[in-house]
C-alpha cells in the first residue's frame, strides 16, 4: 500500500454557488438575476426547461445539508452570496437575506466547517444587466459596494473570501458565445467585460483591506493549462496566445498586479484594448489577492491556425489558434471534457515558478456523469467508482506537487450534492449526495463515504 499524506490542517471540502443550490429564486425579497430573467423569457434555452427557481433547495434544507457535510467530515465549504438576494435594488440590504446567510455561516461554524464565501458566481443582478452589466463601469462600483456590505455583515465570522468564481466564464460564454445571457458575440465588448471584472475584484479587495478584518481575500480562476500540439514554433505560439487570453488575462492582474505586456500588445494590435482611466493601474498594482482558488476540470490543447477564415462577428480568440485533438486523450463523454490529471500538477508548478508560489487551493475538481441511477445497487447506493478514481488520480498529482514545494492548502470537489448546472440543469450529476428531483431527497453515494475516509486519513492510502 502507498500513502499520500497531505499537510496538517489541509482543507478538505466542496464548492457550490448560490444560484445553483439555493433555489427560492423569487422568495423573501430576492430580485432577479440574469438567470431568473433569462429563464422567464426563454425557458427553452435551458436543459429540459429546468431553470433556477428551485435547484437543490438549499435555502430551505441548509441545516440538514450542513449536517450531511458534517456526516462525511468535510472541514470546509465554499458557496457564494447572491448579490440580488442581499441587495435587491443594489442599495438597500434585504434583512431576510442577512438572516439566511447568518444562519448558514453560523451553522457551518457550529459544525466545525470553515466557510469560504465567494461574491460573484455568474449571477449579475438583472437591474444592473439592464444598465449594461460588466460593460458599464458604474457596475464596478456597485460591486465594490456590495462587497463592502458583505464584509461588514459577515466578515466577523468569515475569514476566507473570494471576489469572483471563474470570471472568464461570463466573458467566454456571454460575450464570445451565446451560451450565457446576454448572448453577445463581440470580442471588443468581451475584453471590456473582462477588464471591468478585474477592476471590480481589485476594488473589492481594497475595501476588504480598509476594513481591517482578520482574514484573507482571493479569487477563484479556472486555469486550463494550454498544451501545444508540438514544439514547433507556431504551435507553441498558439498555446501561448490561448494562455494569455484564457488564463493570464485574470491570473496576472490578480496575483502580480499587472497585465502581461504580450497580452496588451496583442489586443492593441487588433484595436481591442478597453477604455482605461487614470488610477486603474495603481488600483490593480496595490490590490492583489492573498490566495488563489483554482478550478480544474480540463486542459486546452491547441495547434497553429490551420483552418481558414475568421467568423462573421469579427476577430475572435479562435482566430489565433485551432483546437487540437490529442490522439491519446481520455474523455468524460457526458460533459465532453478531457480528463488529464497531470494538468493539476502543471498548474501547481506554474504557480510556484511564475506566481511567487502564492498560497492556493483546488477550489473545484469534479466529474459530471449522466444517468447515474444506472449504477445504483440493491441498497440504493450509487456505486460511482469512476468518480473515486477521478479524484484519486488528481490527488496523487496534487500530492506530488506539494511534495515538491507547492503551497497548496486544500482540495474542494465539485460538489457536495448534485446541483443545477447552467447549461445542463440536472443532466450531469457531480455530487457526493444524489438529489432526487421528485422530492429533493439526498442519498449518499459511494464516493461520499470514500471522501470521508480520505479526510480521516488526511490523504490516500492506495494499492501501489
Q: Which residues of the shown chain bind ligand BGP in the complex (CB under 6 A)?
A: 17, 20, 165-166, 222, 295, 335, 364, 368, 414, 421-424, 428
Residue number with CB closer to ligand BGP (182 or 368): 368
Residue number with CB closer to ligand BGP (81 or 460): 81
Residue number with CB closer to ligand BGP (149 or 247): 247
* Least distance in angstroms from the C-beta of 422 to ligand BGP: 6
Cis peptide before 182 (omega within 30 of 0): yes
Alpha-carbon separation of residue 341 from 178, 371, 442, 456 (angstroms): 30, 24, 29, 23
Residues 6+ apart with CB under 8 A from 304: 229, 232, 234, 235, 237, 238, 321, 322
Alpha-carbon separation of residue 9 from 121, 271, 398, 412 (angstroms): 27, 48, 16, 14
Q: What phi and psi, each to the nearest 5 degrees, are found at residue 410?
A: -175, 170
Residue number with CB closer to ligand BGP (255 or 367): 367
Core vs surface per residue 66-93: b (16+ CB within 10 A) or e: bebbbebbbbbbbbbbbbbbbbbebeee
CA atoms within 13 A on the CB side of 424: 14
Neighbours of 30 (CB within 10 A): 24
Residue number with CB closer to ligand BGP (14 or 226): 14
Neighbours of 237 (CB within 10 A): 16
* Least distance in angstroms from the C-beta of 219 to ligand BGP: 13
Residue with the three cell numbers 494562455: 243
* Least distance in angstroms from the C-beta of 192 to ligand BGP: 22
Q: Cα(223)–Cα(96) distance, rounded to whole angstroms?
A: 36
Task: Name the active-site residue from 135, 172, 240, 364.
Answer: 364
Residue number with CB closer to ligand BGP (55 or 428): 428
Alpha-carbon separation of residue 182 from 36, 38, 122 (angstroms): 12, 9, 12
- Is the distance from CB of 167 to CB of 253 less than 8 angstroms? no
Cell, residue 348: 501547481
* Least distance in angstroms from the C-beta of 186 to ligand BGP: 22
Q: Cα(75)–Cα(113) distance, rounded to whole angstroms?
A: 5
* Least distance in angstroms from the C-beta of 7 to ligand BGP: 25
* Least distance in angstroms from the C-beta of 297 to ligand BGP: 6
Among 177, 324, 298, residue whose Cα is nearest residue 238: 324
> By beta-carbon distance, which residue lies closest to ligand BGP?
421
Residue number with CB closer to ligand BGP (32 or 335): 335
Residue number with CB closer to ligand BGP (133 or 170): 170
Task: Name the active-site residue from 135, 166, 172, 341.
Answer: 166
* Least distance in angstroms from the C-beta of 401 to ligand BGP: 21
Catalytic residue list contains 364: yes
* Least distance in angstroms from the C-beta of 228 to ligand BGP: 24
Among 20, 89, 3, 14, residue whose Cα is nearest residue 58: 20
Active centre residues (catalytic): 166, 364
Amino acid at each position: 500500500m502507498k500513502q499520500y499524506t497531505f499537510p496538517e490542517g489541509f482543507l478538505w471540502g466542496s464548492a457550490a454557488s448560490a444560484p445553483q443550490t439555493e433555489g427560492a429564486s423569487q422568495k423573501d425579497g430576492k430580485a432577479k438575476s440574469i438567470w431568473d430573467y433569462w429563464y422567464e423569457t426563454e425557458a427553452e434555452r435551458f436543459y429540459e426547461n429546468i431553470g433556477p427557481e428551485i435547484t437543490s433547495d438549499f435555502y430551505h434544507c441548509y441545516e440538514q445539508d450542513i449536517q450531511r457535510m458534517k456526516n462525511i467530515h468535510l472541514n470546509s465549504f465554499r458557496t457564494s452570496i447572491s448579490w440580488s438576494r442581499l441587495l435587491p435594488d443594489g442599495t438597500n440590504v434585504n434583512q431576510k437575506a442577512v438572516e439566511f446567510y447568518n444562519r448558514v455561516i453560523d451553522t457551518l461554524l457550529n459544525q466545525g466547517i470553515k466557510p469560504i464565501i465567494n461574491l460573484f458566481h455568474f449571477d449579475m443582478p438583472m437591474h444592473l444587466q439592464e444598465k449594461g452589466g460588466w460593460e458599464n463601469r458604474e457596475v464596478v462600483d456597485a460591486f465594490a459596494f456590495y462587497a463592502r456590505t458583505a464584509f461588514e455583515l459577515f466578515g466577523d465570522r468569515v475569514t476566507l473570501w473570494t471576489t469572483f468564481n471563474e470570471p472568464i466564464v461570463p466573458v467566454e460564454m456571454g460575450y464570445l458565445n451565446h451560451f450565457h445571457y446576454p448572448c453577445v458575440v463581440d470580442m471588443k465588448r468581451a475584453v471590456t467585460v473582462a477588464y471591468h471584472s478585474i477592476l471590480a475584484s481589485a476594488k473589492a479587495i481594497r475595501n476588504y483591506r480598509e476594513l481591517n478584518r482578520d482574514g484573507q481575500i482571493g479569487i477563484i480562476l479556472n486555469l486550463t493549462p494550454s498544451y501545444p500540439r508540438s514544439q514547433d514554433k507556431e504551435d507553441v505560439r498558439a498555446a501561448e496566445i490561448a494562455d494569455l487570453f484564457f488564463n493570464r488575462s485574470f491570473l496576472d492582474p490578480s496575483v502580480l498586479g499587472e497585465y502581461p505586456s504580450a497580452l496588451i500588445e496583442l489586443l492593441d494590435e487588433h484595436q481591442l484594448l478597453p477604455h482605461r482611466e487614470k488610477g486603474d493601474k495603481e488600483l490593480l498594482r496595490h490590490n492583489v489577492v492573498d490566495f488563489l482558488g483554482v478550478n480544474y476540470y480540463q486542459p486546452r490543447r491547441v495547434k497553429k491556425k490551420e483552418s481558414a477564415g475568421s467568423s462573421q462577428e469579427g476577430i475572435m480568440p479562435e482566430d489565433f489558434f485551432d483546437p487540437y485533438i490529442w490522439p491519446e486523450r481520455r474523455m468524460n463523454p457526458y460533459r465532453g471534457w478531457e480528463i488529464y490529471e497531470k494538468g493539476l500538477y502543471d498548474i501547481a508548478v506554474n504557480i510556484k515558478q511564475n506566481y511567487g508560489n502564492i498560497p492556493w487551493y483546488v477550489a473545484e475538481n469534479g466529474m459530471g456523469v449522466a444517468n447515474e441511477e444506472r449504477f445504483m445497487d440493491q441498497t440504493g447506493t450509487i456505486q460511482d467508482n469512476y468518480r473515486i478514481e477521478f479524484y484519486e488520480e488528481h490527488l496523487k498529482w496534487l500530492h506530488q506537487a506539494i511534495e515538491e514545494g507547492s503551497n497548496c492548502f486544500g482540495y474542494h470537489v465539485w460538489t457536495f450534492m448534485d446541483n443545477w448546472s447552467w447549461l445542463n440543469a440536472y443532466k450531469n450529476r457531480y455530487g457526493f449526495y444524489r438529489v432526487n428531483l421528485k422530492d429533493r431527497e439526498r442519498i449518499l453515494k459511494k464516493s461520499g463515504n470514500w471522501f470521508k475516509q480520505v479526510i480521516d486519513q488526511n490523504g490516500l492510502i492506495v494499492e501501489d
